Amino acid sequence: MTTQQSRKERIDRGIKVRSDGLYALMSWRELTYLTLPRFILIAGMLALPFLVPGMYWQRVISIVCIYAILALSFDFLAHYVGLVSLGGAFFIGTGGYIAGILNSYFSIPPFLTVPLAAIIGGAFCTLLLLPCLPLKGVYFAIVTLMYPLFMARIIEAFDIFGGTDGLVGIDSFSSAFLEQYFVICMVLIFLFGIRRFVTTDRGLIFTAIMDNDQAVKASGINITRYKALAVFIASAMGCMAGGCLTHIYMWSGISQFALDFSILPIAATVIGGSGTLVGPLIGCLILVPVSELLRDFGTLRIVFYASILVGFILFRSDGIMEFGQRKYEQFERWTNI
What's the closest the beta carbon of residue 164 comes to another protein, in angstroms?
A: 12
Centre a 10 Å sphere on the Cβ of residue 74 and count the other Cβ atoms it contains. Answer: 28
The letter for the amino acid at 253 is G
Give the burial class of 138: count Cβ atoms within 10 A of its Cβ; 0-12 exposed, 13-18 middle, 19 or more buried: exposed
Q: Single out the residue of 1, 55, 138, 218 in contact with another protein (rule: CB under 8 A).
A: 138
Task: Check if the beta carbon of residue 94 is closer than 8 Å to that of residue 239.
Answer: yes
Contact residues for 188 (Cβ-Cβ < 8 A; gap 6+): 42, 45
The letter for the amino acid at 108 is I
What's the closest the beta carbon of residue 17 comes to another protein, in angstroms?
A: 32
Using the contact rule CB under 8 A, the part of the chain among 5-13, 147-155, 188-196, 197-205 near another protein is 147-155
CA R_g for the chain: 22
**Is 111 near another protein (CB under 8 A)?**
no
Helices marked H in the chain — which ranges?
A: 14-18, 28-51, 54-76, 88-106, 110-129, 137-158, 176-197, 201-211, 213-218, 223-249, 260-272, 278-293, 300-315, 319-329
Q: Single out the residue of 17, 32, 303, 323 in contact with another protein (rule: CB under 8 A).
A: 303
What's the closest the beta carbon of residue 153 comes to another protein, in angstroms?
A: 5
What gap in Å lies between CA 229 and CA 224, rounded to an integer? 9
Contact residues for 129 (Cβ-Cβ < 8 A; gap 6+): 144, 147, 231, 235
Instruction: Collapse the DSSP code of 135 into the 3-class scheme (helix H, G, I; strand E, B; otherwise coil) and give the result.
Output: coil
Of 78 and 281, the one with the shorter C-beta distance to another protein is: 78
* Interacting positions 183-242 with another protein (CB under 8 A): none
Using the contact rule CB under 8 A, the part of the chain among 186-194, 198-206, 309-317, 325-333 near another protein is 309-317
Q: What x/- string results for residues 245 through 284 when contact with another protein is judged by CB under 8 A?
A: --------------x---x--xx--x---x----------
Element (H, E) at 251: strand 251-252
Using the contact rule CB under 8 A, the part of the chain among 8-16, 163-171, 240-248, 291-299 near another protein is 291-299
What's the closest the beta carbon of residue 66 comes to another protein, in angstroms?
A: 21
**Is 150 near another protein (CB under 8 A)?**
yes
**Is 51 near another protein (CB under 8 A)?**
no
What gap in Å lies between CA 108 and CA 182, rounded to an integer? 18
What gap in Å lies between CA 163 and CA 148, rounded to an integer? 15
* Interacting positions 59-98 with another protein (CB under 8 A): 78, 84, 86
Q: Single out the residue of 136, 163, 292, 322 in contact with another protein (rule: CB under 8 A).
A: 136
Q: Single out the residue of 25, 52, 119, 149 in contact with another protein (rule: CB under 8 A).
A: 149
What's the closest the beta carbon of residue 303 comes to another protein, in angstroms?
A: 5
Centre a 10 Å sphere on the Cβ of residue 201 and count the other Cβ atoms it contains. Answer: 6
Of 299, 270, 271, give the one whose Cα is nearest residue 286: 271
**Is 135 near another protein (CB under 8 A)?**
yes
Say how many residues touch another protein, by CB under 8 A: 42
Q: Single out the residue of 146, 208, 228, 294 in contact with another protein (rule: CB under 8 A).
A: 146
**Is 296 near another protein (CB under 8 A)?**
no
Query: Where does this chain bind another protein (CB under 8 A)?
Result: 78, 84, 86, 131-132, 134-139, 141-143, 145-146, 149-150, 153-154, 156-157, 259, 263, 266-267, 270, 274, 297-300, 302-303, 305-307, 309-310, 313-314, 317
